[in-house]
């Protein structure tokens, strides 16, 4: 039996539907029980609202520090003083790194801190926070990241960027890239056929916010209804997720899409994963401004379902991935491009009866990724 404890510090609970939680739930199921004993610890530190003044932010940061120290001490007391502990903190947010760095300082030579970087979230080019908060997050990251012994990155581009942000940390250069993946066991038997013969069901799974919304798609559907009523009648767009600040119901009415666009609301991961495999095509919509460093987590969910993928995106990393693995269809953030792709999908569907499935690249199967993760973790410095 192993004497190595893998302490997973994550900003989400184990049953959360966010991709970061799904990713580690899969790893947990497939990690060798002989290699690690795994404990999942959700970490959420006190939060200071963006609109708070400088003094309130300062006071809150002292509370964050005290809370992080207290949690790190509790976790330290619960570990075997003679055993080995690998702390794996996953960011964003910075909360798991905060606690992980405190634990690392308390842990001694039998403890190592592995930092997983899933996103570039506080840098100026992304503008996720206002200036003061952004600078504070970057400052805290720069202080805390020095306590990490080794690194895991979600993509090569994130690794490259962090190497540029922290050129004095060789552990970043030596870090491992372990991307998202799919678990074929989650999808059950072969995908069911469409409920109504002749209909093309397109599924979108994910929340809308800022420029990630279906506005251009809705405009295209409205034109299709006017130009090609027969083709329009064969479409059903199924939306799953939170509408956010996008006035979804009002837009469906404005463009006359009732009956064509069906909004199902928010559902559990177990429910939507069954829906992935029953569609004709699964849709990805990215932000118009793009993100040049990561692939959407749902891309790998769709790959696991084996259904073709339609991406409305100008993100080159996503376009290259779909083209390289022959996963489906691409449109730019342009109504003409979307219409052209939609006509192609409708024509192919009509001629074949159902769009053919796509091959699932073995490199992104969760078992393959877990073996890489195990090899990386077992080569650690703890002990």
Using a pLDDT cut of 70, give the percent of the chain over it: 91
Q: What is the mean pLDDT of residues 193-213?
A: 82
pLDDT value at residue 125: 57
Compare 246 and 229 and report the one with higher pLDDT: 246
Residue 194 clears pLDDT 50, i.e. is over it: no
* Residue 313: CA count within 13 A, CB half-sphere: 25
Q: What is the mean pLDDT of the chain?
A: 88
Tell me, what's the pLDDT at 1?
47
Name which residue leads in pLDDT, 129 or 41. Answer: 41
Contact between 114 and 380 (Cβ < 8 Å): yes
CB 257: neighbour CB atoms within 10 A? 20
Place of tokens 């376009």: 319
CA distance between the termini of the chain: 16
Say what the pLDDT of residue 48 is: 63
Residue 7 pLDDT greater than 90, yes or no: yes
Dump pLDDT digits (tens) for 326-383. 999 999 999 999 999 999 999 999 888 788 899 999 999 999 999 999 999 988 644 4
Cα separation values, 373 from 2, 11, 177, Å: 17, 20, 9
- The predicted-structure confidence for 130-187, as pLDDT tens digits, reads as follows 677 777 888 889 999 999 999 999 999 999 999 999 999 999 999 999 999 999 888 8
How confident is the model over 270-303, as pLDDT tens digits?
A: 888 888 988 999 999 998 876 678 888 899 999 9
For the chain, how are helix, strand and coil distributed in percent, rounded to 5? 45, 20, 35
- Read off the pLDDT of each residue in 209-220 and give the average, rounded to a whole number: 91
Question: In the block, which residue shows the tokens 């251009």?
Answer: 216
Give the per-residue pLDDT at 195: 53
Tell me the C-alpha distance between 76 and 73, whole Å.
5
Do residues 68 and 102 make contact, with C-beta atoms less than 8 angstroms apart?
yes
Taking the model in full, what pTM does it have?
A: 0.86
Q: Are 131 and 107 in contact (CB under 8 A)?
A: no
More confident residue, 58 or 124: 58
Asked if 198 and 235 touch (Cβ cutoff 8 Å), the reply is: no
The H or E element that residue 189 is part of is none
Q: State residue 372's pLDDT score.
A: 94
For residues 254-258, average pLDDT? 95
Geometric angle at alpha carbon 282, from 120 and 346, rounded to 5°: 135
pLDDT of 291: 65
Domains of the chain, each with CATH number or no CATH: 4-181+365-378 (3.40.50.2000), 187-360 (3.40.50.2000)
Task: Report pLDDT digits (tens) over 16-40.
Answer: 888 889 999 999 999 877 778 899 9
């Amino acid at each position: 039996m192993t004497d190595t404890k893998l302490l997973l510090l994550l900003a989400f609970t184990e049953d959360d539907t966010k991709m970061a939680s799904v990713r580690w739930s899969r790893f947990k199921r497939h990690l060798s029980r002989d290699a690690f004993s795994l404990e999942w610890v959700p970490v959420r530190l006190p939060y200071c609202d963006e609109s708070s003044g400088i003094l309130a932010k300062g006071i809150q940061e002292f509370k964050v520090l005290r809370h992080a120290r207290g949690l790190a001490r509790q976790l330290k007391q619960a570990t075997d003083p003679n055993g080995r502990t690998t702390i794996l903190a996953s960011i964003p947010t910075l909360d798991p790194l905060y606690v992980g760095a405190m634990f690392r300082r308390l842990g001694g030579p039998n403890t190592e801190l592995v930092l997983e970087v899933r996103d570039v979230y506080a840098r100026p080019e992304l503008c996720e926070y206002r200036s003061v908060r952004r600078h504070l997050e970057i400052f805290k990251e720069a202080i805390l990241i020095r306590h990490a012994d080794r690194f895991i990155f979600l993509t090569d581009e994130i690794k490259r960027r962090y190497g540029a942000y922290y050129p004095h940390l060789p552990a970043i250069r030596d870090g491992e890239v372990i991307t998202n993946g799919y678990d074929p066991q989650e999808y059950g038997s072969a995908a069911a056929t469409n409920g109504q013969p002749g209909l093309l069901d397109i599924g979108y799974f994910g929340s809308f916010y800022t420029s990630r919304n279906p506005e251009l798609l809705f405009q295209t559907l409205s034109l299709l209804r006017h130009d090609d009523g027969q083709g329009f009648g064969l479409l059903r767009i199924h939306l799953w997720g939170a509408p956010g600040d996008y006035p979804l119901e009002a837009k469906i009415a404005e463009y006359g899409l009732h009956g064509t666009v069906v909004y199902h609301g928010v559902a559990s991961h177990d429910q939507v994963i069954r829906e992935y495999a029953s569609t004709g095509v699964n849709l990805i919509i990215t932000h118009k401004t793009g993100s040049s460093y990561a692939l959407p987590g749902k891309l790998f969910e769709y790959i696991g379902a084996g259904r073709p993928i339609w991406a409305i995106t100008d993100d080159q990393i996503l376009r290259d991935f779909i083209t390289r693995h022959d996963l489906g269809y691409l449109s730019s953030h342009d109504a003409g491009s979307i219409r052209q792709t939609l006509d192609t999908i409708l024509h192919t569907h009509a001629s074949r009866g159902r769009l053919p499935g796509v091959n699932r690249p073995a490199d992104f199967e969760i078992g393959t990724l877990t073996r890489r993760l195990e090899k990386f973790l077992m080569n650690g410095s703890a002990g």
